[in-house]
Amino acid sequence: MEWTIQQLADSAGITSRTLRHYDEIGLLPPARVGHNGYRYYDTDSVARLQRILLLRELGSSLPTIAEILDRPTDEDDPADSESVALEAHLRFLEAERARLDDRIRALRHTLDARAGAEGSLQIMLEGFNDPYRDEVVARWGEAAYEAGNQWWHAKSLRQQREWKRDLDDMIATWITTWKSGHTPSSAPAQSQAARHIAWFRAIPGTPVADGDRDRSIAMVTAMADMYADDPNYAAAYGNPNCAAFVRDSLKEYVRSSL
């Protein structure tokens, strides 16, 4: 059976100009060209056009479609090559969806802020642990970093502000506990250390959240040392002695309770 270019175009819901373009670029040549210059298409042409239209609907470019359709196939399974290509394209679309989801969340945060919500540009644009990416990956792996970032981006701007207020309150309570003269092993200090551990546990990807005891101990100990030794962390507690108090309290909690 054969169809003219206009018959095939009408049946497929496209224009004859599209089919002529497909012929010009070698994507869908006609089965034959008559003496009158008319293009004629057979059943193989129709099958190829169906695959082209499917791939176009999935968002593939014409060069990509040409590569997929002309790739050598398994003789026992001619569709195998196309299936591999479709799976690859599916992964691309999933990654694109994730990227769009991130942009949608960022836009929602911006709209919240414009509507009067208090929030900083840093909160809207940065991930939860973006400034510490290299350190997080080096200590606990890429998966831990990604889990923390996805958890943070899934929050609304209001939820992010609430989380920041809780963190500020926890630090303020540490400072008050230290100023009150409590020792690291005292009940108030250990209660505050338990609160701090619960804060770690609420962040996906951390060893504490995963319930790995040995890695949890290592993480809490490392973070405790950083609070006292790293000026960027210590500054949050307003006084080096307070930062050392937090360190010692957390280490005492690790020894007695983890």
The enclosing domain of 253 has a CATH number of 1.10.490
Q: Name the domain boundary from 70, 99, 125.
A: 70
Question: Is there a domain that residue 222 lies in?
Answer: yes
Question: Is there a domain that residue 144 lies in?
Answer: no
**Neighbour tally for 57: CB within 10 Å:** 8
Please give the tally of structural domains in the chain: 2
pTM exceeding the 0.75 threshold for the entire prediction:
no
Question: Is there a domain that residue 111 lies in?
Answer: no
The whole-number pLDDT of residue 40 equals 94
The whole-number pLDDT of residue 219 equals 84
The enclosing domain of 18 has a CATH number of 1.10.1660.10
Question: Is there a domain that residue 204 lies in?
Answer: yes
Question: Is there a domain that residue 64 lies in?
Answer: yes
- The contacts of residue 90 (CB under 8 Å, 6+ apart) are none
Mark the ranges of the chain whose per-residue pLDDT is less than 70.
72-86, 88-89, 92, 96, 99, 102-133, 135, 140, 258
Q: How many helices (DSSP H) and strands (DSSP E) are in the chain? A: 14, 3
- The string of pLDDT tens digits covering residues 89-132 is 677 677 767 767 766 666 665 555 554 444 444 444 445 555 56
Domain carrying residue 175: 156-257
